[in-house]
Each structure stands twice: as C-alpha cells, then as structure tokens.
Structure 1
Amino acid sequence: MLNDICQFECFLPTSREKAFQLVVDHPEKWWISPFLEEGGQAVIASAVGIEPHPGGVCYEMDPAGRRRIWGTVLSIEPPLYIRIAWQVSPNRVPIGDPAASSRVMMEFRASGSSARLVVTHSEFVRHGEGADGYRSFMGEPMGWPKLLANLSHAARERP
C-alpha cells in the first residue's frame, strides 16, 4: 500500500474544550452511520454515543434497537485528543475485533478563539484486500469531509 493514511483538518468556531465536548459528548450532532443494511440501504441511527474512557465503545442504535459498534476508544486525553479503533469494514459492516481495525486520531488544538481539529485515519492495511479503496472512500465527499462538515455546522449552531 503506497499511502496508508488520510488526514483532514477543519476550524471550528468554538474553544478547543467545547469542540472536544461536541465530538465526544454529542456525536448525534455530527455522526452519519457508515453501515449498510443487507439490502444495501443506509442505516439510520436513532442514537449515537461514545463512552469517553479507554476501552469504551463508540456505538449507534438503529430504530429497531440494534446496537452497532463503530469504534473502541484506545486512548483519550480531554481536551487534547481521542484515538479510536475504527471498527467499520470496507463493505460497511461492523468489525468485532478492534485489533483488526484501522485507527482514527482526532486532535484538538487552540487557534485563537477557534479550535483546529486534525483527523488522521491510518492503518487501513488492517482492513485487508479492500484497504486502498476504503482509504479512498473515506477521503471522498461522503467520508470524513461530510462528517467534518456536519461537525462544523453543529459547532456554529451550538450556544
């Protein structure tokens, strides 16, 4: 694999502390389910949560009450960063084992009265054969750019 990383940044119109809280405590404001139902339909999440401690899970609930884990918190240091095992496969189904998952680091930096968020998604090689295509997908408009656009919108709306 030539490049096993995709990286994005955005500036959020809020403090670093509030940006961190928005990401970790209110993922329902920016999250879009990456999962697909068996028929290829996108999953609509009715609830989303992040358990903010090492070993905590990142999950969503669908309207039928099924819980899908999309990540495991590997390390967290409020308000500086959260590092997650990304437990979503290239074919958009959950991966049970965090060790078989790529990694996402979300770093929060102060930038005047704003927060600079740097997202680094790496170790796609852990996803096997579909790794290159998956890395490309996460860099496309419906991957990280969409999640960060949602996050930026949520930060502007937050009191």
Structure 2
Amino acid sequence: MAEQQPIPDVRKSVTVAATPEQAFRAFTERLSEWWPPSHVLLKKERVGLAFEPGVGGRYYEWDVEDNEVDWGRILVWEPPHRLVMTWRVDGRWQSIPDDEKASEIEVEFTPVESGTRVELAHVKLHKHGEDARRIFAALDGPSPGETLERYARVL
C-alpha cells in the first residue's frame, strides 16, 4: 500500500498600512466589508457575519430569516497578535456540523516598518479526509489571494 503524502499548509500574507490593533479589529469586527461574497454557507441571502470574541467563541453568518451557520470556533484569541480558529467546510464548500473534520486557520498580525504583516495559514488540512487534496488545490495559489486582497483594501 502506497504511503499517502501529507497535505501541506497553505500560507498567504499581505502588508497593510495599519497598526496590529487596527488590523486585528478590522479582521474580527468588519467582516462584512471584506469577506468574499462568494464565500457563503447559507442557502438564503447572507445579511451578516460576526466573530464572538474569545476562546470558544464562534464566527458565523446569518441570513434574512435569521438562520445561522457556524464557520468555526475560536481556539486562540490573542489580540492584536494572533487568532486561530477551526474551519468547518468540506470539499463541496458545504458546512460541516462540528470540528471533528475541520481544519484550522491561523492568522498572525506582525508589526513591520510599513504597517502590519498579516499572515493567514490554512493548517491541518488532512482533517478533511477524502476532501483534503481538493481543498488544498482550491486554496493554493498566488498570495495574497482573494480574501486577503479584499481585507487589505478595507485598511
């Protein structure tokens, strides 16, 4: 039986003209301004996105009928330096109900001379099982990618 190759992390970054505090707040409090409109887990029109601050909080979206879908849970909340959360999405870009098969997203906010370097990493992609390679292929590409590009424009 052939040994399966590990799934590498996908890391992307962008430098924004903001302090780490401003960059962290924009990332966690202004989601509706930068989150790609194509990244939706709901069946109806999305009207909001939010983070519940702190470890154990969730980040989620809701629609016009107040239906909610969790994107994941906060594992590390260290403003303004670091944020780690689960990512509850499968290979068909549908919501998964818990963190058992969820990978993680790590976001680091590092001060640099020109502002703040924001690095977003999708890690532990192997947890997606059969969908892992498909998810890796969809995420892997030139940095900063659509999500961080939209985020940078907000700042």
Same topology, TM > 0.5: yes
Unmatched tracts of structure 2, length 5 or more: none
**One-letter identity of the residue aligned with 1:119:** L
Q: Secondary structure at 1:46's aligned position in 2?
A: strand
Unmatched tracts of structure 1, length 5 or more: none
Aligned partners of 1:30 and 1:154 also within 8 Å? yes
Deviation (angstroms), 1:117: 0.4
Q: Any runs of at least 4 consecutive aligned residues in structure 1 with deviations exceeding 3 A, and if so which? A: 35-38
**One-letter identity of the residue aligned with 2:99:** P
Match of 2:14 among 1, 7, 10: 10
| Mapped partners of 1:15, 1:44: distance in 2 | 33
**One-letter identity of the residue aligned with 1:7:** R
Q: What residue in structure 1 maps to residue 67 of structure 2?
A: 66
Q: What residue in structure 1 maps to residue 31 of structure 2?
A: 27
Percent identity (aligned): 24
Deviation (angstroms), 1:35: 3.5
Change in 2 beyond 3 A, CA 1:144/1:55 = farther
Q: CA-atom RMSD, angstroms?
A: 2.0
| Mapped partners of 2:75, 2:144: distance in 1 | 19
Aligned partners of 2:15 and 2:152 also within 8 Å? yes
- Structure 1-normalised TM-score? 0.86
Q: Secondary structure at 2:100's aligned position in 1?
A: helix
- Structure 2-normalised TM-score? 0.88
Q: What residue in structure 2 maps to residue 135 of structure 1?
A: 136
Number of equivalent positions: 150
Deviations 1:105-128 (A, max 9, x none): 000000124110011111111111
